[in-house]
């Protein structure tokens, strides 16, 4: 779902209710996305995602591959030069 900044000002409660129902609301300014409203309840860490996939997922190989990608990402973040 998308909403303009004007919609956000006028219908804040209504848009928050949409988010509470599990919908994502993208906020636009002059037709371009500037923000996204999402429920924090849907946010989980990469580690937790891997745990859930390993515990409940039908494909442990996918969980292991995802775990490896998360580790590579973390390592790449450590290598950023701070000039």
In the prediction, which pLDDT does 11 show?
96
Look at residue 35 and give its three-state secondary structure.
Answer: strand
Q: Which DSSP letter does residue 71 get?
A: H
| Nearest CA-CA partner of 23 in 34, 14, 32 | 14
The mean pLDDT values, 10 residues at a time, for the chain of 83 residues are: 94 91 89 88 66 72 79 69 54
DSSP sequence for 58-70: S-HHHHHHHHHHH
Cβ contacts of 75 within 8 Å, gap of 6 or more: none
pTM beyond 0.75, yes or no? no
Cα–Cα distance for residue pair 55/66, rounded to 1 Å? 14
């Amino acid at each position: 779902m998308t909403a303009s900044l004007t919609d956000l000002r006028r219908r804040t409660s209504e848009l928050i209710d949409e988010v509470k129902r599990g919908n994502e609301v993208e906020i636009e300014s002059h037709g371009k996305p500037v923000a996204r409203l999402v429920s924090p309840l849907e946010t989980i860490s990469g580690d937790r995602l891997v745990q859930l996939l390993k515990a409940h997922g039908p494909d442990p190989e996918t969980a292991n591959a995802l775990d490896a990608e998360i580790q590579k990402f973390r390592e790449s973040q450590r290598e950023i030069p701070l000039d």
